[in-house]
């Protein structure tokens, strides 16, 4: 059997099991008497061992086997859960992750794990026995309905096997069962065929004819040892055979075959589909614009129908790319635990909104920014236990990571109850580096955010493995802005800091408001557009020499897109400039809690735009996040709203 084609599936399944291993380890460390954590850990390690053995990854199987043996002793109460044991288990989990990545990438057998295996033995031998809570054992589920696989021809034991409904890599699991049975005798026949088992084109059960000097009990033990087995039925060679083949249930039968409701798709195919639908959206806009001037009712109806179908197709493709944020969030509890231990701090970490969905490409991009934010919160925000106690706080700091939906955006927030941002220290550092004037005595909230977001800016007194090199908020802001999002920071001295990332649901296609200045058209993401109003003399004011907009008793700073893009004002001849000013529109923008008005010459409508990334011109304006193609084939720049506010 060629196992190389299963490498990608093996890697995917292994990552899920590694995530389960880390979560179980964190739970076991938090509650050393929790048998359910040991049970979950054992199951995940056992699955990795079985899959790696089948794939021929010897060192992965060896380390998994040693872990499984140790965990079996923990389950039985022969080994206690001690700090030394936990450190060894965490180290083994890390090594297991590295080994799997190396062997799947074709880098030989991976690192030598003999020293780590010895460490596991030492940790087990040094730990004193303790009795854990009794672990429930799952009884074999009763077999509902008849067996679906036809009885194979030949003589010998008839062995029927049903896999668990959620079994990953069913073909690999069936292969493992056959290998177990071959150790007991000769496999005479298999139903369905071995080829069908390898390609996963069978239901959940299959049948085997096994000849050899063995017994039914040994056969059942061997089959169940392969893992993910729901039921086993062994008929001795002299047992009476049924008069007719076992019928395959039909849809009307009491227990139909479970339908396969999902398939695995290479992300490159989804990316290709997104690129194609993007081009189709551009073509839809062009087609709609061309048909408008022809006045052909039949053509207009056909274009409208095609537009609806393209919109439905766009929605389906974008939905297929949406994945829950837990796929990234699940690796952070371990990161927080390790960072807190290295700094001698106690941290209670919570995660909320794990089911909120983002585009897969967006999800891949936010991992590193969140790592920066969590590490900064642990290092700069949360105090040492003794310091917290002296301030009347609990010894353990609270750190939370949450995701929520807000209209067409997702808000991801990192919040801690630490010391907050030391404004005086930031001001002192800013004065020392020449970032602000030496005469300044305080900073506004906006100035504070801009300073700590400067590249290389850091208030850390020392450089550690966690932070202190000036790489943190600036890296987060750069990445988030590149994604078309924004960042908002709120900090209260002594109470903590909250950092909120506002992200669009997808990077590829967004709804935008089109605005014209002079002869140029620009796009503004609707995520940041609150409303539009006319610019009138009554609504325009000047405060301390700065133009503002008075909107329903709210005073907003007023920017002019013409000035931002450095476009020359219209000529004064014939009153053209006055006419442009009289017809001007204001787009009210909002990023987090910040709002402002943007003056444009004209609003030309809304449309779905396909975001095209581009390399900015050297010394060019840093106010654009991308470009798009409009319905008439003309390009338009996408304004980075977060850079304006």
Run of H or E including 519? none
CA distances from 98 to 7, 15, 92, 347, 540 (A): 15, 11, 10, 27, 62
Judge contact between 10 and 48, C-beta under 8 A: no
Give the tokens for residue 511: 């709804």
Give the whole-angstrom CA distance, residue 365 versus residue 164.
35
Q: Which residue from 414, 429, 329, 337 is spatially nearest to 377, judged by alpha carbons?
A: 414
Give the whole-angstrom CA distance, residue 598 versus residue 513.
12
- Tell me the Cα Rg of the chain: 32
**Residue 610, Cα to own-chain centre: how many angstroms?**
23
Q: Which residue from 116, 129, 127, 120 is spatially nearest to 77, judged by alpha carbons?
A: 129
Q: How many CA atoms lie within 13 A of 215 on its CB side?
A: 2
Nearest-5° Cα angle at 527, 524 to 529:
60
Which of 36, 68, 220, 447 is catalytic? The answer is 68
Beta strands in 63-204 (DSSP E): 157-163, 186-191
In 293-359, where does DSSP find H-type helix? 297-320, 326-329, 332-343
Judge contact between 116 and 63, C-beta under 8 A: yes
Q: Residue 540, SS3?
A: strand
**Residue 310, Cα to own-chain centre: how many angstroms?**
28
Burial class (CB in 10 A: 0-12, 13-18, 19+), 358: buried
Which of 37, 46, 372, 528 is catalytic? The answer is 46
Residue 376 is a catalytic residue: yes
Give the whole-angstrom CA distance, residue 282 versus residue 629.
7
Using CA atoms of 467, 470, 474, 475 in order, give the dihedral in degrees to the nearest 10.
-60
CA distances from 562 to 628, 636, 638 (A): 19, 15, 14
Residue 46 is a catalytic residue: yes
Q: Which residue from 161, 248, 140 is spatially nearest to 204, judged by alpha carbons?
A: 161
Burial class (CB in 10 A: 0-12, 13-18, 19+), 415: buried
Residues in the chain: 645
Judge contact between 637 and 523, C-beta under 8 A: yes
520-525 vs 635-639, strand pairing mode: parallel
DSSP one-letter string for 167-208: -SSHHHHHHHHHHHHHTTSEEEEEES-HHHHHTT-S-SEEEE
Judge contact between 401 and 392, C-beta under 8 A: no
DSSP one-letter string for 587-609: EEEEETTEEEEEEESEEEEEEEE
Torsion-angle region of residue 619: left (phi > 0), alpha (psi -120 to 50) or beta? left
Tokens 């106010």 belong to 623
Residue 528 is a catalytic residue: no
Which of 22, 66, 365, 376 is catalytic? The answer is 376
Nearest-5° Cα angle at 448, 528 to 403:
45
Give the tokens for residue 177: 């069962």
Give the tokens for residue 291: 């048909």
Which residues are identified as catalytic?
Answer: 46, 68, 376
């Amino acid at each position: 059997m060629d196992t190389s084609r299963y490498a990608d599936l093996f890697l995917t399944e292994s990552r899920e099991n590694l995530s389960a291993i880390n979560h179980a380890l964190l739970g076991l460390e938090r509650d050393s008497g929790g048998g359910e954590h040991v049970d979950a850990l054992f199951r995940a390690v056992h699955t990795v061992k079985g899959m790696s053995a089948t794939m021929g990854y010897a060192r992965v199987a060896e380390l998994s086997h040693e872990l499984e043996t140790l965990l079996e002793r923990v389950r039985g109460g022969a080994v206690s859960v001690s700090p030394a044991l936990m450190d060894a288990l965490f180290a083994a989990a890390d090594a297991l992750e590295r080994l799997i990545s190396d062997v799947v990438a074709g880098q030989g057998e991976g690192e030598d794990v003999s020293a780590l295996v010895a460490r596991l033995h030492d940790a087990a031998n040094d730990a004193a026995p303790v009795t854990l809570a009794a672990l429930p054992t799952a009884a074999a589920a009763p077999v509902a309905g008849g067996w679906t696989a036809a009885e194979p021809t030949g003589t010998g034991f008839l062995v029927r096997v049903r896999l668990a409904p959620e079994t990953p890599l069913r073909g690999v699991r069936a292969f493992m069962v056959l290998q177990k049975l071959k150790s007991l005798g000769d496999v005479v026949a298999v139903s369905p065929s071995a080829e069908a088992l390898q390609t996963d084109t069978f239901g959940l059960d299959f049948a085997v004819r096994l000849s050899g000097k063995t017994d039914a009990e040994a056969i059942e033990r061997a089959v169940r040892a392969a893992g993910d087995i729901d039921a086993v039925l062994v008929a001795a060679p002299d047992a009476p055979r049924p008069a007719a083949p076992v019928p395959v249930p039909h849809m009307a039968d009491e227990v139909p075959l479970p339908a396969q409701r999902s398939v695995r798709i290479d992300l490159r195919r989804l990316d290709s589909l997104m690129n194609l639908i993007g081009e189709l959206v551009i073509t839809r806009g062009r087609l709609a614009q061309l048909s408008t001037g022809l006045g052909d009712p039949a053509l207009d109806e056909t274009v409208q129908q095609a537009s609806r179908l393209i919109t439905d197709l766009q929605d389906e493709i974008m939905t297929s790319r949406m994945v829950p944020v837990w796929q990234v969030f699940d690796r952070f509890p371990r990161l927080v635990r390790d960072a807190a231990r290295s700094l001698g701090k106690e941290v209670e970490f919570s995660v909320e909104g794990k089911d909120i969905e983002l585009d897969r490409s967006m999800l891949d991009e936010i991992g590193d920014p969140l790592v920066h934010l969590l590490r900064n919160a642990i290092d700069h925000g949360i105090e040492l236990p003794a310091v917290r106690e002296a301030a009347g706080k609990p010894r353990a700091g609270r750190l939370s990571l949450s995701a929520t939906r807000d209209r067409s955006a997702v808000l991801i927030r990192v919040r801690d109850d630490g010391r907050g941002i030391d404004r005086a220290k930031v001001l002192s550092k800013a004065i020392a580096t020449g970032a602000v004037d030496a005469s300044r005595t305080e900073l506004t909230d906006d100035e504070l955010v801009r300073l700590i977001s400067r590249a290389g800016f850091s208030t850390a007194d020392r450089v550690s493995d966690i932070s202190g090199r000036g790489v943190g908020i600036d890296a987060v802001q750069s990445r988030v802005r590149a994604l078309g999002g924004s960042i908002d920071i709120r900090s209260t001295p002594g109470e903590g800091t909250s950092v909120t990332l506002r992200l669009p649901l997808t990077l590829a296609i967004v709804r935008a408001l089109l605005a014209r200045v002079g002869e140029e058209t620009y796009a503004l993401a609707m995520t940041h557009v609150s409303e539009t109003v006319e610019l009138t003399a009554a609504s325009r004011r000047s405060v301390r020499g700065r133009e503002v907009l008075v909107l329903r008793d709210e005073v907003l700073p007023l920017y002019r897109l013409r000035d931002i893009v450095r476009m020359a004002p219209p000529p004064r001849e014939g009153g053209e400039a006055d006419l442009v000013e009289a017809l001007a529109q204001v787009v009210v923008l909002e990023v987090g809690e910040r709002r402002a008005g943007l003056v444009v010459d004209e609003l030309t409508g809304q449309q779905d735009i396909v975001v095209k990334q581009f390399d900015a011109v050297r010394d060019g304006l840093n106010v654009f996040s991308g470009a798009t193609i409009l319905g008439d084939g003309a390009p338009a720049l996408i304004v980075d709203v977060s850079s304006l506010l």
